[in-house]
C-alpha cells in the first residue's frame, strides 16, 4: 500500500519534483526495497516501472516508525467524496442527518448546599480541603488522613 502511495504521490507532484533532487522518507521497508526487488509481482513491477524516471533524482530513506511520529497524519486525514478521490462513491450510503442536542440543567441552591455539607461531613474530604487551603504544608493534617490518601503527600 505504501508503494502505491509513493507512485500516486510522484504522479501528483510530478510538476514540482521533475528535475529536482529529493528524498522520500518512509518508515516502510518495502518502499525502500522497491527499486532493488529482483522478482516482483505484476503490481509491484508496474509501480517499479512508474517510478523509474525518478531513480536518478530520488533517494528513499528509511526512518524507524518510533522516530517517524508524524507519518500517519496525512494517511489518516479524511478525503472528500469527490471525483478526484480514487475511492469516490457515486451514491451516499445514507443521507446525512444533522443532529443537534442541547442539555440544560437548572439546579437550585439546595443542591449546592448539600454538596458543600457532604464535603464537610466526610472526614477525608474535609482534611483535603483544609490541606489545599494551606498549600499542603500541615503535617498533622496529612497524618490524620486514611492510608490511601497519605500516599499522595509522600
Q: What is the pLDDT of residues 48-90, one digit of tens each?
A: 888 888 878 888 888 776 666 665 555 566 677 777 876 777 7
Angle formed by the axes of helices 42-50 and 2-12, nearest 10°: 30
SS3 content of the chain, % helix, strand, coil (to 5): 50, 5, 45
What does each of the 154 residues of the chain score in pLDDT, given as a tens digit? 778 888 888 888 888 888 888 888 887 777 777 777 777 788 888 888 888 888 788 888 887 766 666 655 555 666 777 778 767 777 666 666 666 666 666 777 788 788 888 888 888 888 877 777 776 667 777 778 887 777 776 6
Q: Which domain holds residue 132?
A: 109-153
Cα distance between residue 124 and residue 130, in whole Å = 10
64 and 6 share one domain = yes
Q: Are 48 and 113 in a shared domain?
A: no
Predicted TM-score (pTM) of this structure: 0.42
CA distance 39 to 57: 24
In a domain, 131, yes or no: yes
**How many distinct structural domains can be found in the chain?**
2
Measured distance CA(90)–CA(106) in Å, rounded: 47
Amino acid at each position: 500500500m505504501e508503494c502505491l502511495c509513493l507512485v500516486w504521490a510522484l504522479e501528483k507532484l510530478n510538476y514540482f519534483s521533475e528535475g529536482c533532487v529529493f528524498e522520500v522518507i518512509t518508515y516502510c521497508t518495502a518502499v525502500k526495497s522497491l527499486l532493488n526487488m529482483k522478482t516482483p509481482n505484476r503490481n509491484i513491477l508496474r509501480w517499479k516501472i512508474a517510478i523509474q524516471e525518478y531513480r536518478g533524482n530520488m533517494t528513499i530513506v528509511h526512518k524507524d516508525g518510533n522516530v517517524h511520529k508524524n507519518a500517519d497524519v496525512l494517511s489518516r486525514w479524511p478525503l472528500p467524496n469527490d471525483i478526484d478521490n480514487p475511492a469516490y462513491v457515486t451514491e451516499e450510503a445514507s443521507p446525512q442527518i444533522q443532529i443537534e442536542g442541547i442539555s440544560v440543567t437548572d439546579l437550585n441552591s439546595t443542591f449546592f448546599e448539600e454538596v458543600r455539607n457532604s464535603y464537610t461531613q466526610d472526614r477525608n474530604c474535609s482534611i483535603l480541603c483544609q490541606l489545599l487551603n494551606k498549600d499542603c504544608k500541615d503535617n498533622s493534617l496529612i497524618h490524620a488522613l486514611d492510608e490511601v490518601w497519605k500516599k499522595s503527600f509522600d
